[in-house]
Structure 1
Amino acid sequence: MAESQFALPAPAFDSISKVHYSPTNPNQLLVSSWDTTVKLFDVANDASSSKTSRQKCKFDHRAAVLACCFSDAEHGFSGGLDTAVRFLDFTNEKTNVVGSHADAVSGMVYSKDLNALISASWDRTMRLFDPRAPTPQQASHETPERIYHIDLVNNTLVVAMASRLFHIYDTRNLQEPMQRRESSLKYMTRSLACMINGEGFATASVEGRIAVEYFDPSPEAQEKKYAFKCHRQTIDGVDHVWPVNALAFHPVYNTFASAGSDGTVSVWDHKIKKRLRQYHKFNNPVSSVAFNCDGTKLAVATCYTWDEGEQGARMERERPQIWIKTVGPEVKPKDWQE
């Protein structure tokens, strides 16, 4: 079956760090990049053509941007190596620095319940920002290690740190984690995503493995957790293993997509522990993936991800691209009841 996809115009000049769809508009996509920009795109409904997709606005930063998110339809946030947390106004194409960290901003999520941004940093803190308040920065909470990734579902915040540490918080009390865990995977955490139904999360490592975890600390629930190998290939008798750079749960079916430096994106049904689909291989590693809010599209960012260092950067390769893929029944669990 032919896959329906197209590339967005005006891609980034350097590696893409994050693609993030609007929580309410299925056609609006925010893209952060190492080229020091954040761009907002209007994505066309017609998957056969990229001509009607357009860049709506662009925000310049002082260094590489590692994280971005929406707060509502007209606003978002961004942060990265320049340590500033910026509030983005899409209507007026203006940015406002609402605060900063002492080191790079590595992740951010917007909490509707708190009406605030939660930003995370390599400086071992999480910070809260409400851009409407007279003093935007509300609070700062320390963590034991550098934060690599955060994700949020309902009031549950998952924080993935260096040294394979995980903290799970209730956002109504960020002073103290509800749970402290060590990663089920042996190597550095490369990606993290929470299940849409709020039951747990998936995490992946630089060493081609994904772990499926559950929040419920009871022995019965913890018995359900497992890990598996993926994004691996045997070439000429040699096993090649690639980092799993991104994970994203489908907003309706709670299946998830994984993306790797092998240039592939796979869709998994974690309940039956099976891969539902592996899409056509891309020419570059995949750095980030995101489903839109109605689950009809998947954004796929392809670019060099520096797994092979300077030597890999000198190779001839295509420019960074953002592909918009129309999602079909392949993301639906086999036992799904309409």
Structure 2
Amino acid sequence: MASLFGAAASPSTSTTIGDLKNDVAISNPPEDSISDLTFSPTADILAVSSWDKKVRIYQIASNGTSEGKHIYEHDAPVLSVDFSKDGNKLVSCGADKQAKVCDLQTLQTAQVAAHDNTVKCARFFELPGSSGPMLVTGSWDKTIKYWDLRAQNPVGTVTCQDRVYTMDVRNSLLVVGTADRYINVINLQDPLKFYKTLQSPLKWQTRVVSCFTDASGFAIGSIEGRCAIQYVEDKDSSSNFSFKCHRDPPAGNVTNVYALNDISFHPQHGTFSTAGSDGTFHFWDKDAKHRLKGYPTVGGSITATTFNSSGSIFAYAVGYDWAKGYYANNPNYPNKVMLHPIQGDECKPRPSVKKR
């Protein structure tokens, strides 16, 4: 029998309800809600940022067991983490108004960026001809800043319409979501101006933006249990669409809706996950406009998700996301990171139906 995270693939099933029985919790998780998760592009190394002001780095073995490798601190809650393309550097940022980079080889940490308010997100990117990884940070001070890791001051600053809530990078595509539902699209070959600005097609606050694997567009998630698929270049009117998710079935005149907290794209298949305050995650095929799998509730809100580089592991964080305010929090609320082995065709695109 293959190991839990081994190569054995379960046979294709017609059911759209997924199974959680093989999911494994990582050992020694953070002591407070988890804000972000990211896998190294070059190894099964998982970085976890938390409201307990710490960044933790775990080595994940092929059988799903985890071992803590390193931990470092910020002066306030940490809100975002991201690995460089070569896996050698990890950036983290948060409510202490700064970003830090940890060198994975020396385990030395240095401050590399500063803002006038909370830094909500940080992402590495590389441009053709550049001498190394660059950094972009987005803040509640309504700016995004670009950083060369060898320089003390930002190499560029762009002012946004409002506070930066979410940001993602893929190749030369940078997408920035701010308060008041603004979405800014930037071509990193021309980084100091907006290539496009739109107001989110979703009616409520943007929680997350996530770039397609081929960088042709991005997905948007809102607090109202909806997801929008948006192409950078509008091919035709039907290519952009939105759909409902993370909602309870209507009961009388009431439908409970939940925040969509994170969207992650599968690195090989281009399919994607949504996860939310309702404690469920789902896999979707945007091209077929089809839900591949839905999963039962995991017993608490899902605050962050990520796939490993091979797409064989889906990691999700369970913890309180404050969607129901102070009164709904309690000391017994679960706080953990789970590893879900991708089995069989869970994330494979739906076969296209060929006409005879």
TM-score where L is the length of structure 2: 0.88
Distance 1:315 1:134, change over 3 A: closer
Letter in 2 for 1:177: F
Q: Which residue of 1 aligns with 2:298?
A: 282
Q: How many matched pairs?
A: 328
- Report whether the alignment pairs 1:91 with 2:119: no
CA–CA separation in structure 2 for the residues paired with 1:168 and 1:303: 31
Q: CA deviation at 1:177?
A: 0.7
Q: CA deviation at 1:174?
A: 1.8
Distance 1:310 1:135, change over 3 A: closer
Q: Which residue of 1 aligns with 2:93?
A: 79
Q: Which residue of 2 aligns with 1:232?
A: 247
CA–CA separation in structure 1 for the residues paired with 2:307 and 2:346: 14
Aligned 8 A contact 1:98 1:137 in 2: no
Q: CA deviation at 1:44?
A: 1.5
CA–CA separation in structure 1 for the residues paired with 2:239 and 2:42: 32
1:123-272 map, 5 Å: 123-131=141-149, 133-135=150-152, 137-217=154-234, 220-234=235-249, 237=252, 238-272=254-288
- Report whether the alignment pairs 1:308 with 2:324: yes
Give the % identical residues. Answer: 31
Match among 54, 57, 64 for residue 70 of structure 2? 57
Q: Which residue of 2 aligns with 1:295?
A: 311
CA–CA separation in structure 2 for the residues paired with 1:73 and 1:152: 16
Aligned 8 A contact 1:214 1:222 in 2: no
- Report whether the alignment pairs 1:327 with 2:327: no
Spell out, residue by residue over 1:12-61, the C-alpha distance to the aligned partner (whole angstroms, 9 max, x if none): 11110000111222x111110000001111012113xx3xx101100111
Q: CA deviation at 1:323?
A: 0.4
CA–CA separation in structure 2 for the residues paired with 1:16 and 1:191: 15
Q: CA deviation at 1:93?
A: 2.6
Q: CA deviation at 1:222?
A: 4.2
Match among 28, 34, 55 for residue 45 of structure 2? 28
Provide the secondary structure at the position in 1 that maps to 2:210.
strand
Q: CA deviation at 1:315?
A: 6.6
CA–CA separation in structure 2 for the residues paired with 1:331 and 1:176: 36
Q: CA deviation at 1:90?
A: 2.3
Match among 92, 105, 114 for residue 100 of structure 1? 114
Distance 1:9 1:226, change over 3 A: same
Unmatched tracts of structure 2, length 5 or more: 1-17
Match among 43, 66, 71 for residue 60 of structure 2? 43
More strand per residue: 1 or 2?
A: 1
Provide the secondary structure at the position in 2 that maps to 1:311.
helix
Provide the secondary structure at the position in 2 that maps to 1:330.
coil
Aligned 8 A contact 1:83 1:102 in 2: yes
Unmatched tracts of structure 1, length 5 or more: none
Distance 1:275 1:61, change over 3 A: same
TM-score where L is the length of structure 1: 0.93
**CA RMSD after TM alignment:** 1.7
Aligned 8 A contact 1:58 1:93 in 2: no
